């Protein structure tokens, strides 16, 4: 422009079409969320992030928790915060790592409690996929993360989405067992109807807090006792 005051601003990445690659029962339950404006903004944020950084888990694994445990098959819910942020670790299930990856410290402590609680034998792999096939939803509150940057994708919409998933489970299902470890997860109790579901709380399995109430919580045996009381098949925690 003649007055020299014009500043060029590059256009934002266009709001993308939402075509979620998610298991059909969850797609139906959460369809309104995929159509909500916040989810389009979240999608745009992820596209821009991937232009500049490595993002975990790989795109095909973002909804792994949902794809592995259909809505009507959920029996137990374990809530994590966000994915592991180092190469090769995250694959869309909270606390779980891919085959061949060294166990993170929180997972080591989970295995220790399992050993003390139910005689669990530490496996070669930290992949918890077997649990999901028995009805354990391994849900992170935030489903993606930037490499080397814990918590980097918090506050961009994932929490709205996963909070809704927890609420829909609470509203539409009965007799679920929620395992909430650490204050972040325990705050999710407000989303759960405790007149219909069971909520077990403990400290987080992180080395910073495991000795303050995670060790000795016996959540794995308690979960199975509750499932048996409801006439459900208990979880085989051994991997």
Task: Just list the catalytic residues.
Answer: 82
Spatial distance between the Cα atoms of 53 and 98, rounded to a whole number of angstroms = 21
132 three-state secondary structure? helix
Would you tell me the crossing angle of helices 24-34 and 158-172 to the nearest 10 degrees? Answer: 130
The DSSP secondary-structure symbol of 149 reads: B
Q: How many DSSP H helices and E strands does the chain contain?
A: 8, 6
Spatial distance between the Cα atoms of 77 and 235, rounded to a whole number of angstroms = 12
Spatial distance between the Cα atoms of 78 and 129, rounded to a whole number of angstroms = 13
Which long-range contacts link 184-187 to residues 24+ away (Cβ below 8 Å)? Answer: 184/81, 184/141, 185/79, 185/80, 185/81, 185/141
Helices (H), 53-138: 64-68, 105-118, 129-132
Is-cis flag, bond preceding 175, omega within 30? no
Report the DSSP pairing between strands 55-56 and 145-146.
antiparallel
């Amino acid at each position: 422009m003649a007055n020299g005051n014009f500043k060029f601003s590059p256009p934002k990445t266009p709001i993308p079409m939402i075509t979620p690659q998610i298991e059909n029962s969850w797609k139906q339950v959460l369809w309104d969320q995929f159509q909500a404006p916040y989810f389009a903004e979240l999608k745009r944020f992820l596209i821009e992030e991937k232009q500049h950084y490595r993002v975990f888990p790989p795109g095909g694994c973002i909804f792994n928790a949902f794809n592995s445990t259909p809505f009507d098959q959920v029996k137990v819910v374990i809530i994590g915060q966000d994915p592991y942020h180092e190469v090769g670790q995250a694959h869309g299930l909270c606390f779980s790592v891919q085959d061949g990856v060294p166990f993170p410290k929180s997972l080591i402590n989970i295995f220790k409690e399992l050993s003390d609680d139910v005689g669990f034998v530490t496996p070669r792999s930290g992949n918890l996929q077997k649990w999901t096939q028995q009805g354990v939803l391994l849900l992170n509150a935030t489903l993606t993360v930037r490499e080397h940057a814990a918590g980097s994708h918090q506050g961009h919409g994932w929490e709205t989405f996963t909070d809704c998933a927890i609420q829909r489970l609470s509203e539409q299902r009965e007799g679920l067992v929620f395992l909430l470890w650490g204050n972040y997860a325990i705050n999710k109790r407000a989303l759960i109807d405790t007149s219909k579901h069971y909520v077990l709380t403990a400290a987080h399995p992180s080395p910073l807090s495991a000795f303050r109430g995670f060790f000795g919580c016996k959540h794995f045996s308690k979960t199975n006792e509750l499932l048996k009381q409801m006439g459900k098949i208990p979880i085989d925690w051994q991997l």
